[in-house]
Amino acid sequence: MDAINRLLVAAREARENAYAPYSRFSVGAALLTADGEIFTGCNVENLSFGLTLCAERVAAFSAVAAGKREFTGLALITDTPQPVTPCGSCRQVLYEFSPDLWIISANLEGKQQMYRLQDLLPDAFSADF
């Protein structure tokens, strides 16, 4: 199974663990490290909405906690008519580690869209100032 399919399967499985009682918008993410390991995440909501975490950041923070700092790909799965992109906060967090990250977004019906993080976050905030 190629990397994209592995990521999509992992993201779909992660989505099943989402905790989204308020928005009912469950998201699964799977992040591929430079050495081929996959870290997953799901969104976790909180009644105090500002404390909610997106699936992409959960996956990224899990990878960082395991000592990984270089990522090559990210898959997102949602139950929406069209695939979605990461929010601005997630884009910035991912950019910190992998400006060249590719992102595949899909819905449960199999529609897919591929992006480059740099295209989704042009002129990103970086330490190169």
45 is catalytic: no
Order of strands, edge to edge, in the sheet holding 112-116? 38-42, 27-33, 71-78, 102-107, 112-116
Measured distance CA(5)–CA(51) in Å, rounded:
31
- Select which of 45, 56, 70, 109 is catalytic: 56
Going along the chain from its start, the domains and CATH numbers come out as 3-120 (3.40.140.10)
Query: pLDDT tens, 104-122?
Result: 999 999 999 999 999 999 9
The reply, when asked if residue 90 is annotated as ligand binding, is yes
87 annotated to bind ligand: yes
pLDDT digits 0-9 by tens, 62-108: 999 999 999 999 999 999 999 999 999 999 999 999 999 999 999 99
pTM for the structure as a whole: 0.95
**Bridge partner residues of 71 (DSSP):** 33
| Residue at 105: amino acid letter | S
Give, as one character, the DSSP assignment of residue 48.
S
Taking the alpha carbons of 9, 23, 49, 85 in that order, is the dihedral positive or negative? positive
* Angstrom distances, CA of residue 72 to CA of 13, 25, 45, 98, 103: 20, 26, 27, 7, 9
Q: Was 42 annotated as part of a binding site?
A: no
